[in-house]
Amino acid sequence: MRRAEVSAARRRRHWDDRYGAATPERVSWYQERPATSLELIAASGADRTAGLVDVGGGAGRLVDHLVADGWSDITVLDVSDVALGAVRARVGSDTPVQWVEQDLLTWHPSRRYDVWHDRAVFHFLVRERDRQRYREVMGEALAPRATVIVGSFADDGPRQCSGLPVARYDAGSLVTALGAFDVLATRRELHVTPQGETQPFTWVALRNQ
């Protein structure tokens, strides 16, 4: 088995265990309404027929809000079948959603998307080779003039999440780490976990050149 496959299997076990140990409403990253994500998606100017991919979407509720808002071409990608099973059961099968159980770093997109959304995948990539692979996958997935929306722990945020180390960013360093894009917007978000802890996030919305 190649190194990338071994790493992907390890990540799958880790996240299956994390989602298996707690209900989606008890994990630290839970949001009933992902307000910053929805704001930046709306600000992108993409219409509701645009192709949107939520990478590392897990059992998050962004897809619920997008479906309710009339989005008709949604893809949710996550390495954890446990997470995707939970959100599929909640959202239902009669929805315009494609579910992709895949490790992002070994994914080969079969199509291109107008909106790329990532809340808290990129900050787990602490090795440059993994960040480079992320950029390669994203480049394969983006349509011309697509919008890239990424949220990560801020530079004063936690140093670890779910037992894993993370990279922390301010807006400038996150833009630089993602590559050559036009900057549409930046945000700082103070996320309050279900346990009452506050986690600062940095968000960027970028336009593919």
Asked whether the predicted pLDDT for residue 128 surpasses 50, the reply is: yes
Mean pLDDT of the chain: 92
Break the chain into its structural domains and give their ranges: 3-208
The SS3 call for residue 108 is: coil
Is 35 buried (19+), middle (13-18) or exposed (0-12) by CB count in 10 A?
Answer: exposed
CB 120 within 8 A of CB 56: yes
**3-208, CATH topology level:** Rossmann fold (3.40.50)
Rounded Cα distance, 209 and 145, in Å: 6
Asked whether the predicted pLDDT for residue 4 surpasses 80, the reply is: no
| Angle (CA) 15 17 21, round 5° | 120
- Residue showing tokens 């990539």: 125
pTM value is 0.93
Q: What is the pLDDT of residues 53-70, one digit of tens each?
A: 999 998 899 999 999 999
- When pLDDT is cut at 50, 70 and 90, the band that residue 14 belongs to is confident
The region of weakest confidence among 2-6, 78-82, 123-127, 130-134 is 2-6
Rounded Cα distance, 176 and 179, in Å: 6
Look at 150 and 1; give whichever has higher pLDDT.
150
